[in-house]
Every structure is written in C-alpha cells, then in structure tokens.
Structure 1
Amino acid sequence: MMSLARLLLVMIGLFVLPLGAHAVWWAMRDDVAANYRQADWSSARLLSPPAETPQAIVAVYAARVGRWRGIFAHHTWVVVKEAGADRYTRYDKVGWGSPVRTNGWAPDGRWFGNAPRLIVLIEGEAAQRLIPQIQAAVASYPYRVSGDYNAWPGPNSNTFVAHVMRSVPELSAALPPTALGKNWQPFRDIVGLTPSRTGVQISLGGYAGLSVGWIEGIEVDLLGLVAGIDIRRPAIKIPGWGRIGMEPIVW
C-alpha cells in the first residue's frame, strides 16, 4: 500500500511540477495582453464566411484565458450555423453582464488575444440534426442567471459547454484537460456519466474527481487541475500544458 510520503511525491510530480514549469514558460511570453481593452478579440479566420458555407455547421472552440489565469485554464464555447443561414451563432457562459452570452464575440474570435483551437467540427446533415438539441441544451442550462457564475471550481464557462456536450453526446468529444470547471457537478450528483456517456465520472463539487471513459480517457481531477491519459488517441494530460500527444479526433 502506498505510503503518505509516496502519495505526496506522486501528487507533486503529477500536478505541482508541470504547473510550475508552465507558469515559468507563461511568464516568459511577451505576447500576453495586460488587460481586457488591450487584448485582441478579432476573428482568427478559422471559419469561412457564411456565404461561402451553405451547409450546417457545429463547432466547439477552446482558447487560453487572459493574464495569469492562462497558466492553467482555457475558455470554451459553442458555435452553430443552420443550413443556408447568413451568420454563425456563438454561445458563451461568462461571469459578467448577461451570463449566457449569444454572439458576444466573433464565432472564431481570439480570447484575450489567444487564438482558439478547434475541439469539434460537424458539418452537413449531421450538424443540422444536432443544432436543435444544442439550442435546447443552451436554453436548459441551470446556472444561467447573474450570480450563478463561479470561476473556480465552477460552475463556469466550461461547465456550460460540458452541459451542452452532456446533453448532446453525439458531439463525441472531450474538452481540453485545461478547461477548468468542465468536471464540476453539484454535490447531489457525485456519481454520473461522463459528458460523452461512454464512461463514469465522480465529482466532489469540482474540488476532486475521477473520470474514466472511452472518449474522455482516464482523468484525475484535483482542485480543478487534471492529469490523465487518453488511450483511444494516445496522449498524456498534465496541468498547465494540457494534452500532449495525438490530437483528439475532430469531425
């Protein structure tokens, strides 16, 4: 049986050292915006103009958050466009103003100057079938009014997107391990299914937890920091750095 000293060393190796190394690397960057107003929020040009994209689109994006919080966290959001629509619709959960924001920023916009990366992309008839389910999930999010947002451990922006993915498991993807708050669940729901419904998740109010699923892999959550492995698409997941290895499947 593992002694307390060995367990402490394992925790330091899995959580503290990677996060510390990423903090040093982050501090050495010279392109981190000092504040909200100085940051670049423009489109990263990942999506084609709607006029050039007649088919339906469903996408999920993630980008590092601003300032020192970018050391360990991503912000995620959902984008949809129905077939023939002349614009994209973006859904975010934020901690200021209207908590569930529609079209607050460019659909593929930078977040505090940090370029987003694609987590999910579904096009055509498959996307068109999912859009009503996504819209229903957005409308049914239970933590959508002022005062419901809690940056740590949740519910926050990533809890919102995890809710959408849990409501629409056909999205068949996992949020980045650095999507702080994605594993948050109220204490009444300690044990449940992972968002993809391919495994089991244990969440102690976002302070600690464990997820084991075919899509999510194996993740150990401690104070919102995630360490784990992905067997389906071989990769390791470590605090700060996120996923290292094969990229997750993007449709």
Structure 2
Amino acid sequence: MQKLSNDIIVILSSSAFLFLITLFIVFLLMAYKRRDYKHLQEKQLLEEHFNNQLLRSQIEVQEQTFMQIGKELHDNVGQLLSTSRMLIGLAERSMTSPPDALFTANATLGKAISELRSLSKSLDKEWLSQFNLIENLKNEITRINATATIHASLQVTHQPALPSSKQIILFRIIQEAIQNAIKHSGCDKLIISLSKQDGHLVITVYDNGKGFQAEVCEKGLGLKNMESRTQLLGGKINFISEPGNTTITIHIPENKNHYEN
C-alpha cells in the first residue's frame, strides 16, 4: 500500500513537472512571438517612415525643378515667342494684302504665349503656396469639356480643409485618375465629387468607360503612384472597376494631426 502511494506521488510529481516544463515552453514561445511581432511592427513603421520621407524629398525636388522650368519658360521661351509674334505683326503691316496663313500663325502664337504664361504661373512657388484645389479642378473640367468629346462635371459639397501643399498632392492624384479615364477608358462621361464623411475628405472620380482590372494592370496606369501619394497624405484609395463603371474613391483625413507640417 505504501509502495502504491509512493508510485502515485511519483506520477503526480512527474506530471506536475512535465506540466510546468510545457507551460514554461509555451510562455517562451509566446514571448518570442510577441517580440517577433513587435520587431515586425517596428520594421514596418521604419519602412513607412522611410517611404514617406522619400516621397517628401521627391516632391521637394520636383517643386524645385518645376520652379526652374517655369522661370526658363517665362524668361526665355516666352520672350522668343513674343518676339516672333511681334515680327509677324510687322510683316502683316508691311503687306497690302497679308495671306490668311500669316493671320492664323499670329493668332496661334498668341494662344501659345497665353498657354505658356499659364503653365509658367502654375510652376511658380508663390502660386503653389496659394494653390486652391477646387479652382484648379474647375479649370480641369473646363479644359476637358472644351474637347466636346467628354462631358465632365464637378460636384462639391465640402471645401477641403487642407494646406496648399497637401492640396497640390491631392490634385495630382485626381489629375492622374482623370488622365487615365481620358486616355484608356473610352468614356464620354466623367464626374468628380468632393464631400465629407467621418472627419475625412472624400473624393470620387467616376467614368462610364470600359473599366480595368487593377490586379491585371499590375499597378500600371499610375495606380501605384496614386496609392503612394495617398499614403503620404495619410489616406486610403480604393479602385472599383467593371465595364461601363469605374469609381476611384479617395479618403483623406482632415484631422489637424494628420496634415500639420
């Protein structure tokens, strides 16, 4: 009887010991998993921070390049075109009956100079600092409708509460979506809308074109660039497309913490 009791004690002790060893191993595995997960999170945060800084640097470089191009366009190319138009004007006045081609050339040069001034202005840093998303979207709509091939409209129920630097980035995202629709979708209807939802600025770009499959495009059509710029603004972008219906939806937080520089 004593021996049986001793055997039971040994079995119970062994079982308890094995249980404690198993419990210890489980705790070790859990601690390792937590540390591994924490390390993965830190790595992801570092990668995200690096990508954001890289994008910011690229945008800064682009802005400097645009400023230089704008200056060159205004000071050099603009002056050359103005001189050419003046010479054409002198030629017109020196002729008793100038050919129609000369009048057409003069008018075309005048339009080119006007377009060049607008482009030069859009690349100026002071103009960029006063950038207004809605006004520039209205200009885009006017430009698209002037082609008479696509009917474009802008629906605004909320004015963006974002600094100009963020509005410029957002405009480039929308502009990319517009260009994709014009170049690739074969649409004849384009609708851009801005609204507010749960503290977010919500932008949708809709077209009635042939659609696309994002996974098939392998992030082509500028989709990857649109996603990167949206992430830089702390937002999200969603693509829903099928034949006859493509909607790109962008959510940008307007919370002060997200957009203060």
TM more than 0.5: no
Which has a greater percent of helix?
A: 2
* Structure with greater strand percent: 1
Larger Rg: 2
TM superposition score normalised by structure 1:
0.29
> Does 1 or 2 have the higher relative contact order (CA < 8 Å, sep 6+)?
1
TM-score after normalising by structure 2:
0.29
